[in-house]
């Protein structure tokens, strides 16, 4: 399993770090309004991407016995949907721009719609490789595309292309990935497809898509609400502040969930082994996520000022808010993956629907609250969904809540101590130091505090205890 985690990490981390590097360069060149403009377009495309993919990837991984003809049928439906979506964005770009009241949004949305079409040729080949745990091949494809896209984006930034440098990066990455995936197999139009055999894939994928759409409302629709209720500059502060959190979160969750979904799907007929694998994934995620997310929250002011300049000072509260919430969100993602592997995609859609409805109550009305308060409230809404998912897993006898709590407690207690230590060091030691000198001191102090708690917990055998608490089948 370590080899699979390593290759998955190389793929996911290389892609995220490449895009993050380009974003840092552009954030120092572009105005807040320009960054907000592109971020609004990306939020719209992210929503369309969920419809475009329609749960196909998870459906292929979950239904391991699906025939090649059924998988080809699923892929061709992806292509047809992408053509419709791309055409719609080109035709309706003007209305989207008018609705947001953001001049210049239409050409960016129209250009990024090409990415939807290119990605339709990626979903199925990538899902088959993930199902077969061919993470080495996926890593080579992703890293090659990331390097090429990043070079184009950075070159465009220095050439003065402004916001279009990011557009060029996205198009280059999508195009390169589509070409490489189809050289490795892809959707072969000359071979027959079987729509009838694909019905179970469409059914499962449909519920996955519904759950993902509802999850989008809960986690990313804030990027549509901020420019609507405030302005593009406020969205830019949120994006700048949360950018490295999302990069870190994607690096952690993508690797963890990438391997966990494949592993749990293979063990769903063996509840005891399934429970142990789930406990291991949860504790691993909590340990890594706790260090990164609590760490980012602790050093948010210095980090944002150092990386993004004067704009980063106003963006740091957004980083602190989303980073702390990221620990709960990661645990919820692992619980959702476990339910998907057990075939409970309808359950995820239901719980996500409740969370999305609550999120809409926060996002849609013109509440007289600051943007930061709206962001914090939306992130807190993951708690009811997490509680429901864990209770369902307990009822299915694949997890013990007491054992799970003891498994994640060291990471969360260590994270809380890290926040306190860094706050104290900032007030007493680094208050007069430049950010470049203060950061190593704060990071070192926080890391020591975190490691002390984790080491003490490991010495007392908390992790084996959590595994022993996994419920056995009746």
pLDDT digits (tens, 9 = 90+) for 308-332: 887 788 899 999 999 999 999 889 9
- What SS3 state is found at 434? coil
Residue 193 reports pLDDT greater than 80: no
Residue 464 — pLDDT band, cuts 50, 70, 90?
Answer: very low
Residue 385 pLDDT: 86
Q: How confident is the model at residue 466 (pLDDT cuts 50, 70, 90)?
A: very low
Residue 187: is its pLDDT beyond 60? no
Q: Which of 411, 52, 368, 331 is nearest to 230 (CA)?
A: 368
Question: Over 50: is that where the pLDDT of 474 sits?
Answer: no
- 424 falls in which pLDDT band (50, 70, 90)? very high
Q: Is the model's pLDDT at 56 over the cut of 60? A: yes
Task: Give the span between the Cα atoms of 70 and 360, in whole angstroms.
Answer: 37
* Boundaries of every domain in the chain: 2-468
Mean pLDDT, residues 191-212: 79
Coil, strand or helix at 370: coil
Most confident of 60-74, 109-123, 450-464: 109-123
pLDDT given for residue 414 in this prediction: 93
**pLDDT recorded at residue 108:** 93
Higher pLDDT, 375 or 29: 375
**pLDDT for residue 149 is more than 80:** yes
**pLDDT at residue 387 tops 80:** yes
Average pLDDT, stretch 452-473?
A: 58
Q: Of the given ranges (3-7, 20-24, 197-201, 440-444), which has the lowest mean pLDDT?
A: 3-7
Which residue in this structure is represented by tokens 């608490």? 469
Q: Max CA-CA distance within the chain?
A: 70
**Residue 166 · residue 38 · CB < 8 Å:** yes
Alpha helices, DSSP H, located in 63-104 = 68-100
Angle (CA) 215-255-137 rounded to 5° is 120
User: What confidence tier does 448 reach under pLDDT thresholds 50, 70, 90?
Assistant: very high
Which of 218-222, 251-255, 385-389, 440-444 is least confident?
A: 251-255
H or E stretch covering 430:
none
Asked if pLDDT for residue 189 goes beyond 70, the answer is: no
Q: What pTM did the predictor assign?
A: 0.72
Q: Predicted confidence band at 444 (pLDDT cuts at 50, 70, 90)?
A: very high
Whether the predicted pLDDT of 471 surpasses 50: no
Which H or E run includes 338? helix 310-341
Q: Is the pLDDT of residue 19 over 90?
A: no
Report the C-alpha gap between 431 and 196 in whole angstroms: 67
Mean pLDDT score of the chain: 83
User: Is the pLDDT confidence value at 9 over 70?
Assistant: no
Q: For residue 256, what pLDDT is reported? A: 74
Average the pLDDT over each of 55-69, 226-240, 362-376, 459-473 and give the range with the smallest value: 459-473
> Which percentage of the chain shows pLDDT scores above 90?
27
Look at residue 473 in the predicted model and tell me its pLDDT.
40
Residue 467: is its pLDDT beyond 80?
no
Percent of the chain with pLDDT over 70: 91
- Rounded to whole angstroms, the Cα distance separating 209 from 52 reads 9
Give me the DSSP letters along 141-195. Answer: HHHHHHHHHHHHHHHHHHTT-THHHHHHHHHHHHHHHHHHHHHTS---TTS---T
Mean pLDDT of 158-168: 85
């Amino acid at each position: 399993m370590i080899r699979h985690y390593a290759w998955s990490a190389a793929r996911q981390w290389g892609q995220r770090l490449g895009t993050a590097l380009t974003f840092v360069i552009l954030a120092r060149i572009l105005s807040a309004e320009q960054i907000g403009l592109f971020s609004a377009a990306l939020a719209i495309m992210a929503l369309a991407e969920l419809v475009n993919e329609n749960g196909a990837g998870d459906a292929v991984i979950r239904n391991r016995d699906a025939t090649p003809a059924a998988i080809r049928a699923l892929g061709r439906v992806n292509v047809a949907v992408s053509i419709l979506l791309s055409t719609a964005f080109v035709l309706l770009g003007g209305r989207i721009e008018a609705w947001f009241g953001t001049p210049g949004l239409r050409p960016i949305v129209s250009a990024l719609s090409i990415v939807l079409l290119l990605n339709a040729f990626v979903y199925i080949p990538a899902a088959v490789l993930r199902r077969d745990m061919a993470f080495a091949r996926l890593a080579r494809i992703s890293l090659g595309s990331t390097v090429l896209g990043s070079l184009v984006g950075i070159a465009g930034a220095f050439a003065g292309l402004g916001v279009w440098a990011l557009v060029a990066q996205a198009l280059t990455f999508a195009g390169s990935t589509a070409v490489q995936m189809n050289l490795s197999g892809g959707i072969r139009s000359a071979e027959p497809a079987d729509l009838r055999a694909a019905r179970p894939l469409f059914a499962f994928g449909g519920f996955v898509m519904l759950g993902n759409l509802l999850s989008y409302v809960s986690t990313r629709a804030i990027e549509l609400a901020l420019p609507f209720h405030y302005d593009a500059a406020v969205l830019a502060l949120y994006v700048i502040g949360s950018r490295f959190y999302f990069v870190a979160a994607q690096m952690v969750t993508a690797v963890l969930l990438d391997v966990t979904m494949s592993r749990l799907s293979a063990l769903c007929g063996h509840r005891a082994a399934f429970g142990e694998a789930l406990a291991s994934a949860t504790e691993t995620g909590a340990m890594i996520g706790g260090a990164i997310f609590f760490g980012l929250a602790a050093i948010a002011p210095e980090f944002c000022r150092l990386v993004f300049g004067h704009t980063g000072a106003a963006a740091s509260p957004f980083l602190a808010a989303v980073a702390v919430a990221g620990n709960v969100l990661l645990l919820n993602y692992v619980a959702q993956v476990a339910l998907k592997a057990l075939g409970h995609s309808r359950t995820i859609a239901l719980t996500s629907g409740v969370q999305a409805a609550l999120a809409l109550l926060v996002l849609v009305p013109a509440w007289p609250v600051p943007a930061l308060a709206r962001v914090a409230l939306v992130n807190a809404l993951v708690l009811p969904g997490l509680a429901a998912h864990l209770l369902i897993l307990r009822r299915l006898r694949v997890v013990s809540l007491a054992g799970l709590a003891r498994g994640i407690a060291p990471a969360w207690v260590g994270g809380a101590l890290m926040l306190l230590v860094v706050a104290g060091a900032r007030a007493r030691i680094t208050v007069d130091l430049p950010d470049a000198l203060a950061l190593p001191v704060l990071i070192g102090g926080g890391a020591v505090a975190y490691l002390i708690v984790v080491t003490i917990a490991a010495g007392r055998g908390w992790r084996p205890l959590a595994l022993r608490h996994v419920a056995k089948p009746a």
